[in-house]
Chain A
């Protein structure tokens, strides 16, 4: 099938796909600060804005920290807010990421996963966003430009429904700068899918209500219980929104994706662009009679724990590929998955591989080799450096 023959198909990089998604979602406010490799998102949005195609209040503050501060304030007034950043920019926002969640600001942000300094680099690595895993932001990891576009639109639906900020992450260059044919949904369809943001509470000088007063201990605790309750609802919301989007576009999404996992003797678990390579390797191995599958973790936060247990129940061996290294711990997905699977009666053996750290290339042949190496090995608690 020639994809370009389909309606509204354009050859887009992952970053420009995100810019398109932002345009379609009609954010009221978009504070942005440039950083490699996120900058094309900003540039495309400013182009749209200059051409009168986006009626968004664009803010260009002096830092990512200020950008996020503006996001929070704008969101609390009831504005739909979009922003994008990467690596150092995200890390600079750290304290405000916590603040945004506590404030229940339904911001959507695209983070382009890039190695955090030092050493200096611009390479695909997910440590920047994974190390924000305790901030309460919902995190989706995208495999492709099309998924990034779809994910941003769905992220607004989820964030505004649940009342929590949401991050769509895609890998530097592998997704951000790689181009593929991307279907751009109709504006009318998106408008219908994503009605105007209208939260129950808004900062408004005409309304006698304020935000930000200190809470006493018990009330603070209660606000965290409320947050936990909202986050617990995210997984179902991801499913509901993903199915709804599927009905409109033919592209359904869920928190996880099981690819050729039935009867698999080994399931490879990973996130982001690595999923594409694994998908290709799985196909080759299946052709060669190896029973290997892929479990793509799309929603990393909140971690869909029960779904993960269900997805891996009865699988003998799991191999986690982490494109991140948490110093002193190992692969973050590896650690989290072990915790989730702990205590399962029929739980799998879990291997953790530090694969493609710093953007090092991982080919489908390499994955085939790792499968052979680890299929019958005894798992170690520590993540293993592999190449």
Chain B
């Protein structure tokens, strides 16, 4: 008989068999936020620019960084990098050294002299920004690149605020500040230096003259330590100390210094004083493990022979001709629910004495609100703002330390970016765009770790301690280009397609096609919804979704 058995044999393609009809679920290519992005104060597209670093597209990486933060070289040195805390890679070996890579890209931009692209359009609306620190400059940048006319009023002689006057050169050299701030002013930002908006009347006048006003004066008034007489020559507040020493002037205080406080400013004071040859003791209310400064700052301070007395308070100062005799006592420190809140209980009979020549309190700073109280009321030490950083007065916005207790440089930069968007919406509502919807973050379990080999982090080296104490040279030594590319290559690119072609190669129905210029498309006639592409995606950027009838 040998009847032809045509259905069983295939002598052309199997395209006639529409396996797509079997499907109940469909893969969807959708880049979703990486955990680092979710943690980043400026919403940086970290996975994207790290990928660009691996592709040796440093300019592209810099542009991606600059989208959200005009200070990659600065942030790459001083950011508290919550991105690294959130990094999924810690579940395989170690987090990616994102901060050191940001510095690498930022330094590259300075070396190469890259400038910010000019605004595509010029707008007539004008914005006054009061304060030329991280928040003011971030807002100025975001508004100016959108074409708005921006004027900064800065009370000091130079722009930079805390970046210039509050952070010592061994962490952030002023040449870096000059370069990144200069790029912003080069965009065509008007700057008035040495001008202080002293009172409500002056602020009200600005509001009349400009389409909107942004307040970014930071927290410039030192908190006062109760019971300490600041008028004495042996007391100098930390902000003054850092401004003087950062300005190149010498320290007039004695040989033995007591720094009071456990935050970043206290570490900066202590380590600066060590570089000036002083013997330094840091006295903190907080116990060692609760110190608010970044851990690396504390560790490096100890390396530099700063002595710590944690969990203790200053009770009395007795000035003698041979110096100060300080009476201190141990305390039981209990952190409170919110940042900056705590309770202390003195431990009876724990008094002890210290002998020093001078005291530098570094216990934080408050915003100066009283001068504008009539125009922008504030409470709890901050100007009242809503989620879009609008004050209670229409047309006036505020962000950064003047409006938030999230006292990190990059937090201020991120807040100011959001405030700039809100300002743009306010002054030109027609141009307003709705922000993209928030998507769930890519968790570790969506990463196919078969495609990521364990590989230890390429860490930045530090200068040797003996070298550090001889100068204000930067402690952290930048990654080499090779190290940077290798380190960026450790990124999982969580939730971000890297055009690896795994989906294209593994699809059993050849239902995936590559798009010109990157990305992929699923042929619905043949995708049977097996999910192999999702399983083999190294980055978790493909997702199965129920295939509902359209």
Question: Do they bind each other?
Answer: yes
B124 interfacial by beta-carbon distance below 8 Å:
no
Report chain A residues within 8 Å CB of B10.
209-211, 213
A216 interfacial by beta-carbon distance below 8 Å:
yes
Contacts A223-B8, A226-B7 given; indicate if A233 touches B19 (C-beta within 8 A).
Answer: no
Report chain B residues within 8 Å CB of A223.
5, 7-8
Q: How far is the CB of B408 from chain A (nearest CB, A)?
A: 58
Q: Which of chain B's residues 146-170 have a Cβ closer than 8 Å to chain A?
A: none
Which one of A161, A201, A230 has the greatest number of beta carbons of chain B within 10 Å? A201
A-B contact pairs, 24 of them (CB 8 A): A104-B8, A161-B2, A162-B1, A163-B1, A163-B2, A199-B2, A200-B4, A200-B5, A201-B9, A207-B11, A209-B10, A209-B11, A211-B10, A213-B14, A213-B17, A214-B14, A215-B17, A219-B7, A220-B7, A223-B7, A223-B8, A226-B7, A230-B1, A233-B1
A251 interfacial by beta-carbon distance below 8 Å:
no
Q: How far is the CB of A12 from chain B (nearest CB, A)?
A: 32
Report chain A residues within 8 Å CB of B11.
207-210
**B9 to A103, Cβ gap below 8 A?**
no
B3 interfacial by beta-carbon distance below 8 Å:
yes
**B8 to A211, Cβ gap below 8 A?**
yes
**B9 to A163, Cβ gap below 8 A?**
no
Q: How far is the CB of A144 from chain B (nearest CB, A)?
A: 30
Question: What is the 8 Å Cβ interface bit string for chain A, positions 217-228, against chain B (1 contact, 0 not)?
Answer: 001101100100
**B7 to A104, Cβ gap below 8 A?**
no
Q: Which chain A residue has the least Cβ–Cβ distance from B21? A: A216
B18 interfacial by beta-carbon distance below 8 Å:
yes
Interface range, B side: 10 to 19
Contact residues of B with A, CB < 8 Å? 1-5, 7-11, 14, 17-19, 21
Per DSSP, chain B at the interface is loop
**A201 to B5, Cβ gap below 8 A?**
yes
**A216 to B18, Cβ gap below 8 A?**
yes
Assembly CA distance A229 to B7 (angstroms): 14
Interface range, A side: 20 to 34
Q: Which 7 pairs from chain A and chain B are nearest by CB? A: A209-B11, A223-B7, A219-B7, A213-B10, A210-B10, A213-B14, A200-B2
Q: How far is the CB of B274 from chain A (nearest CB, A)?
A: 74
Assembly CA distance A162 to B3 (angstroms): 8
**B19 to A226, Cβ gap below 8 A?**
no
Q: How far is the CB of A75 from chain B (nearest CB, A)?
A: 13
Report chain A residues within 8 Å CB of B8.
102-104, 201, 211, 215, 223
Report chain B residues within 8 Å CB of A215.
7-8, 17
Q: How far is the CB of A223 from chain B (nearest CB, A)?
A: 5
Q: How far is the CB of A124 from chain B (nearest CB, A)?
A: 34
**A214 to B7, Cβ gap below 8 A?**
no
Question: What is the 8 Å Cβ interface bit string for chain A, positions 187-216, against chain B (1 contact, 0 not)?
Answer: 000000000000111000001111101111
**A209 to B9, Cβ gap below 8 A?**
yes
Report chain A residues within 8 Å CB of B18.
216
**B3 to A163, Cβ gap below 8 A?**
yes
Q: How far is the CB of B511 from chain A (nearest CB, A)?
A: 14
Assembly CA distance A201 to B14 (angstroms): 18
Q: How far is the CB of A159 from chain B (nearest CB, A)?
A: 11
Q: How far is the CB of B124 from chain A (nearest CB, A)?
A: 65
**A163 to B5, Cβ gap below 8 A?**
yes
Q: Which chain B residue has the least Cβ–Cβ distance from A211? A: B9
Indicate which residue in A103, A199, A216, A230 contacts B17 across the interface (CB closer than 8 Å).
Answer: A216
Given A163-B2, A211-B8; 19 other pairs, CB 8 A cutoff: A102-B8, A161-B1, A162-B1, A163-B5, A201-B8, A208-B11, A209-B9, A210-B10, A211-B10, A214-B17, A215-B7, A215-B8, A215-B17, A216-B17, A222-B7, A223-B7, A226-B3, A229-B3, A237-B1
Report chain B residues within 8 Å CB of A222.
7
Assembly CA distance A223 to B8 (angstroms): 7
Assembly CA distance A215 to B9 (angstroms): 10
Assembly CA distance A161 to B18 (angstroms): 34
Assembly CA distance A215 to B258 (angstroms): 84
Assembly CA distance A128 to B8 (angstroms): 29
Q: How far is the CB of B524 from chain A (nearest CB, A)?
A: 16
Report chain A residues within 8 Å CB of B14.
213-214
Assembly CA distance A215 to B10 (angstroms): 10
Assembly CA distance A211 to B10 (angstroms): 6
Q: How far is the CB of A102 from chain B (nearest CB, A)?
A: 8
Assembly CA distance A215 to B17 (angstroms): 7
Q: Which chain B residue has the least Cβ–Cβ distance from A224? A: B7
Assembly CA distance A104 to B7 (angstroms): 11
Report chain B residues within 8 Å CB of A208.
11
Q: How far is the CB of A283 from chain B (nearest CB, A)?
A: 40
Assembly CA distance A23 to B19 (angstroms): 45
Q: How far is the CB of A219 from chain B (nearest CB, A)?
A: 5
Q: Which chain B residue has the least Cβ–Cβ distance from A208? A: B11
Assembly CA distance A200 to B5 (angstroms): 9
Report chain B residues within 8 Å CB of A213.
10, 14, 17
